[in-house]
Amino acid sequence: MRLLIVQTGTAIAAVRTQYGDFAQWFRRGLGLSSRQTRCVRVDRGAQLPAPRSVSGIVVTGSGAMVTDRLEWSETTARWLRRAVDADVPVLGVCYGHQLLAHALGGKVGYNPHGREMGTVRVDCLPAAADDALFAGMRGCFAAQATHLQTVLRPPRDAVVLARSALDACQAVRFAPRAWGLQFHPEFGVPEMRAYIRARDGALAGEAFDVPALLRRVRGTPQARSVLRRFARLSG
């Protein structure tokens, strides 16, 4: 059984040309080879396998918006509900995090605090201390972020594990073996800087100091370590 990467979008063209696409970034972060994973491009209409046929599931970010209720996205949401009910380990990242929240009855929409971009501080909440994925991530850590939408209201019985200054749901445990991360553990420093440069026009229009954002980008090893722990939980 292989770990399934549910790819819901693709990296910006300028970034993809230099650094590859999301599935490659996640494989590196998870410490898994292409033989140990399977990637399904749901945004291109690819069919998902039976949830119990895979060892674990990672759902990637996307340039799409969950609130657009695209057909492929709603189909994936229904499939994710089945995967969670089947107790298959699931990790949603950015769009994947929001889609998982939507699938399980939460509310997703534009972040009232605006765009979150660059290397940000994430603060662990008390519930993280005994969480299977976040145990050991005490205090605060740096993480890479780029998003406009967010989880505005977690599903009932979900547990919020971490927050940032602009986002109250940076990490959520949706079920005993299902988690969502608003931050990007798969991003390295080059990818984060490339995304900031690619979005510089929009950022400047929103009064961001783009050179300062670029200067503040740094490595995020603690955030990245979440992927290796998820790979072990899915083994």
Residues with catalytic roles? 94, 184, 186
Nearest CA to 10 out of 95, 108, 100, 97 is that of 95
Q: Which residues of 209-230 are buried (b: 16+ CB within 10 A; e: fewer)?
A: ebeebeeebeebebbbebbebb
Sign of CA dihedral 83, 84, 90, 92: positive
Task: Quote the CA–CA distance of 60 and 146 in Å, as a whole number.
Answer: 13
Residue 1 has which token pair?
Answer: 């059984």
How many Cα atoms within 13 Å fall on the side-chain side of residue 210?
14
Task: Quote the CA–CA distance of 154 and 143 in Å, as a whole number.
Answer: 21
Q: Which amino acid, 30?
A: L
Are 20 and 14 spatial neighbours (Cβ–Cβ below 8 Å)? no
- Residue showing tokens 């939460």: 106
Which one-letter DSSP state was computed for residue 102? Answer: H
Task: Quote the CA–CA distance of 116 and 127 in Å, as a whole number.
Answer: 24
